[in-house]
A = this chain, B = another copy of it.
Amino acid sequence: MPHDRVAKTIGELRALTDKPFNVNFFCHARPKVDAEREERWQGRLSPYYDELGVDRHSASRLDLPPFDDATCTVVEKARPAVVSFHFGLPEPALLARVKAAGCRVMSSATTVAEAIWLEAHGVDVVIAQGYEAGGHRATFLATDFNEAVSSQSGGLALIPQVVDAVRVPVVAAGAIADGRGIAAAFALGAAGVQIGTAYLLCPEAATPPLHRDALGHARPDTTVLTNVLTGRPARVHTNRFVREAGPMSDAVSDFPLPLGVLTPLRAKAEDRGSGAFSPLYAGQGSSLTKEQPAESLTRRLVQEAERRFQQLAS
């Protein structure tokens, strides 16, 4: 997100609440320039361009700026209570500025080694992102995404092992969508939980109708980890493109370039009511969720978790 939109969004949030909130940023490395690889991936997609009658040259090379100086300046002014990063941490000088502004810093680990690295580099909280989680894997120490995906840990294994490995509090993420999941995460040693997919169905969320529809039909075994939509592994509700080009591919170009190549196809398909080329991010807990306003969902989750704690002790 460009820095001026970050500033605008934080301003809008402040107008809605005086409570603390969390702003999240991607801090990926810029894609390597590799024209041959990019052309090969575009070639892989050309039959779809033909099929949908989309001009092959209509895709622009997507630039998704990672957390940078301009965005950091916005954060220093706005001082959100919590700043989280995905794909590791930004360069040390930027991180130091965020911390000096008084923001608590969190980042996600998909392995014990990543949790230890994050603690050593100064995070206040580690998020243990289980294999079940929807959206992008935080994976940042691995060099081979295929290998990393085949050795990802489920939350039941990852959470207690991260808790044992670091001193900072651990927040659990992945397939937590009701009071049972919250109680389980705390049983495993988590100090908090991060809930994603369940809130995507709230009327307040900007989730597009096609994505809502997919979440309504998702079952735990209809989601897969795929890198063909964006260039990095992400858990999505599977669709035609993921099935045909993936789920994992060695040929895909660097994040976020595949997203740019996909945009014209996605737009054309979505116009026709199809999510065949859309990134339908979804966790494995999707089918535990149902549409509910955010406030009542939050209250229900807390009540369910507290009831669960009491049931377990009796």
A→B interface (CB under 8 Å): 111-113, 130-132, 150-158, 160-161, 164, 174-176, 178, 180-181, 183-189, 219-225, 238, 247-248, 283-285, 287-288, 308-310, 312-314
Contacts and interface: CB of A to CB of B under 8 A. Distances in A.
A206 to B, nearest CB: 25
Number of copies: 2
B153 A284 contact: yes
Contacts of A189: 180
Given A161-B287, A188-B180, A308-B187, A222 B156 contact: no
A314 to B, nearest CB: 8
A22 to B, nearest CB: 22
A185 B187 CA distance: 9
A152 to B, nearest CB: 7
A221 B152 contact: yes
B175 A154 contact: yes
Contacts of A310: 313
In this complex, the member of A150, A175, A188, A221 whose beta carbon has the largest number of chain B beta carbons within 10 angstroms is A221
Nearest to A248: B150
Contact of A221 (B153, B181, B186): B153
